[in-house]
């Protein structure tokens, strides 16, 4: 069995990789299980920190090369791809500095007791193609620091990145078995989750994939962390800083080739400023430089797969048939590769499926609202609850609305993004559990109570 990596900008085959057969998978699980015992018990926290610092050094040194690899396999603009690698280095440095404190024993006031954070063992991770370095490393770095080993099933289409990551961790001085790539198909996942040597699982991907893994993990009494995407709302009130809100709304929707779980997919604008916002926003979207992702001037490259182009067209056609008003775009570009025109649709009825679904194409949906209560109700009218954004000059309103929104994170007068220092995760169909920050560092540990009478 083979896995193929295709260049989305050209539609040409980059590489064919041999998948791991059952014997190879067994060998890797066994090695991870053995390594977990020594990594947790015989390797000190100081040695783990030193490994993370070496990892950060290598990421910074190789940022351009890894960035080119990312761009060739999934199509994001080269500047964003190199920035993704550098962000991963910052994550490693953050957890090298703050991670030991996050994982330190926590005394309980008034009791002769502490909470001790201990590793679970071997963690199985299922990872997506849209952030092929950052998504994997933001999970791996604190998880390994806590004393766990990891097995990673990366996406079929970024197997070059998958192999580069495994090599990177070894080059940073980690023992064999700390981080291993599993080149497997989807139908091999269930048996790995069920394997008694796997302590827990984490999934970043679709709601269907996450729920399927969670069902298997639950049947075997195992913890699972799910980050299952979103349909983030971006609320712009009439007193917002208009000149900042518009470009941030464009960036938040179309960064990473518009293939991000935390993109601002539904933009809600107060009626008094709606017409002006729509005009300026559409002009900015039309002006986005679309083209070769290896060109530093490009802001929007190809979609990662031909299937994503087809899915986007299906959703756009449905939206227009359901009453949406097409303001720009609406079709694939007539050129080599998986390019889709940046698209804006307005005035959709809120019950239209695209409003409730997650979509991974360069499509922004604009809505108008009259009252704060209406804006909140519309924003919460999605099955997802990952991130949300509120733009207003009224601090009291910002606090009130942010607390009313059903989301794992709310950003005020900014755009949603992940940061190594802060917890990241969602509610509702966006999943549960947290990555990053102190909460993320402790997520895949046993928070053991130690009590002295």
- One digit per residue, pLDDT tens: the chain, 453 residues? 789 999 999 999 999 999 999 999 999 999 999 999 999 999 999 999 999 999 999 999 999 999 999 999 999 999 999 999 999 999 999 999 999 999 999 999 999 999 999 999 999 999 999 999 999 999 999 999 999 999 999 999 999 999 999 999 999 999 999 999 999 999 999 999 999 999 999 999 999 999 999 999 999 999 999 999 899 999 999 999 999 999 999 999 999 999 999 999 999 999 999 999 999 999 999 999 999 999 999 999 999 999 999 999 999 999 999 999 999 999 999 999 999 999 999 999 988 887 877 888 999 999 999 999 999 999 999 999 999 999 999 999 999 999 999 999 999 999 999 999 999 999 999 999 999 999 999 999 999 999 998
* pLDDT value of position 301: 97
Give, for 29, the enclosing helix (H) or strand (E): helix 22-41
* pLDDT value of position 352: 83
The terminus-to-terminus CA distance of the chain in angstroms comes to 58
Give the whole-angstrom CA distance, residue 405 versus residue 391. Answer: 13
Q: Is 443 designated active site?
A: no
> Looking only at Cα atoms, what is the longest distance across the chain?
74
Q: In the beta sheet, which residues pair with residue 17?
A: 3
Question: For residue 153, which of 135, 168, 171, 170 has the smallest C-alpha distance?
Answer: 135
Q: Where in the chain is the domain with CATH 3.40.605.10?
A: 2-228+430-451
User: What number of other Cβ atoms are within 10 A of residue 7's Cβ?
Assistant: 20
Going by their DSSP bridges, the two strands 427-428 and 384-385 should be labelled as antiparallel
pLDDT per residue over 39-86, tens digit each?
999 999 999 999 999 999 999 999 999 999 999 999 999 999 999 999
Give, for 307, the enclosing helix (H) or strand (E): helix 306-321
**Are 153 and 189 spatial neighbours (Cβ–Cβ below 8 Å)?**
yes
Task: Report DSSP state, residue 424.
Answer: B
Characterise 229 by phi-psi region: left (phi > 0), alpha (psi -120 to 50), beta (else). left
Going by their DSSP bridges, the two strands 232-236 and 223-227 should be labelled as unpaired
Task: Report DSSP state, residue 332.
Answer: B
Q: Which residues contact 354 (CB under 8 A, 6 or more apart)?
A: 315, 318, 319, 322, 324, 348, 363, 365
Task: Report DSSP state, residue 298.
Answer: -
Question: Among all chains, which residue has been given the structure tokens 């990053």?
Answer: 436
Q: Is 227 designated active site?
A: yes
- Superfamily for 2-228+430-451? Aldehyde Dehydrogenase; Chain A, domain 1 (3.40.605.10)
Say how far residue 250 (Cα) sits from the centre of its chain: 19
Give the whole-angstrom CA distance, residue 370 versus residue 193. Answer: 48
Q: In the beta sheet, which residues pair with residue 124?
A: 151, 201
Torsion of CA 78, 81, 87, 89, to 10 degrees: -100
Give the whole-angstrom CA distance, residue 165 versus residue 40. Answer: 21
Q: Where in the chain is the domain with CATH 3.40.309.10?
A: 232-412
Which one is catalytic: 161, 166, 261, 406? 261
User: Angle CA(66)–CA(70)–CA(71) in degrees, nearest 5?
Assistant: 115
232-412: which CATH number, 3.40.309.10, 3.50.50.60, 3.50.30.30, 3.65.10.10?
3.40.309.10
**Are 35 and 15 spatial neighbours (Cβ–Cβ below 8 Å)?**
no
Task: Report DSSP state, residue 427.
Answer: E
Which one is catalytic: 227, 278, 406, 435? 227
Q: Would you call 51 helix, strand, or coil by DSSP? A: helix
């Amino acid at each position: 069995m083979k896995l193929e990596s295709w260049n989305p900008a050209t539609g040409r085959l980059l590489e064919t990789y041999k998948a791991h057969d059952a014997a190879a998978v067994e060998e890797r699980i066994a090695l991870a299980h053995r390594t977990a015992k020594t990594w947790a018990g015989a390797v000190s926290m100081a040695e783990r920190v030193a490994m993370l610092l070496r990892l950060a050094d290598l990421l910074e040194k190789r940022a351009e090369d890894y960035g080119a690899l990312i761009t060739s396999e999934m199509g994001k603009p080269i500047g964003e791809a190199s920035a993704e690698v550098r962000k991963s280095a910052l994550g490693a440095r953050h957890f090298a500095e703050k991670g030991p404190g996050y994982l330190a024993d926590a005394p309980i006031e008034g009791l002769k007791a502490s909470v001790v954070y201990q590793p679970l063992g071997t963690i199985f991770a299922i990872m997506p193609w849209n952030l092929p370095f950052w998504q994997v490393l933001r999970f791996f770095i604190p998880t390994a620091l806590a004393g766990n080993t990891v097995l990673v099933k990366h996406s079929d289409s970024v197997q070059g990145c998958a192999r580069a990551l495994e090599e990177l961790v070894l080059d940073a001085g980690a023992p064999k078995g700390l981080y291993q790539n599993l080149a497997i198909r989807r139908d091999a996942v269930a048996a790995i989750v069920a394997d008694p040597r796997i302590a827990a699982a984490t999934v970043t991907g679709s709601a269907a994939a996450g729920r399927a893994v969670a069902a298997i993990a639950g049947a075997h009494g195992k913890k699972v962390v799910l980050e299952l995407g979103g349909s983030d709302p971006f609320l712009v009130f009439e007193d917002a800083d208009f000149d900042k809100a518009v470009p941030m709304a464009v960036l938040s929707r179309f960064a990473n080739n518009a293939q991000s779980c935390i993109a601002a997919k539904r933009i809600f604008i107060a009626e008094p400023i709606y017409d002006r916002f729509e005009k300026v926003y559409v002009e900015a979207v039309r002006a986005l430089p679309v083209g070769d992702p290896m060109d530093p001037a490009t802001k929007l490259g190809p979609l990662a797969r031909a299937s994503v182009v087809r899915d986007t067209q299906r959703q756009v056609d449905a939206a227009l048939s359901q009453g949406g008003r097409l303001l720009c775009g609406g079709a694939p570009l007539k050129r080599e590769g998986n390019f889709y025109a940046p698209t804006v649709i307005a005035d959709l009825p809120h019950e239209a499926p695209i409003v409730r679904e997650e979509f991974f194409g360069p499509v922004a949906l604009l809505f108008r609202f009259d009252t704060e209560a209406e804006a909140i109700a519309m924003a919460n009218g999605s099955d997802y609850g990952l991130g949300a954004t509120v733009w207003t000059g009224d601090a009291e309103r910002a606090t009130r609305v942010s607390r009313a929104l059903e989301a794992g994170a709310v950003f005020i007068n900014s755009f949603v993004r992940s940061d190594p220092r802060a917890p990241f995760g969602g509610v509702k169909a966006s999943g549960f559990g947290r990555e990053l920050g102190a909460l993320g560092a402790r997520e895949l540990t046993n928070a053991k109570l130690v009590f002295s009478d």
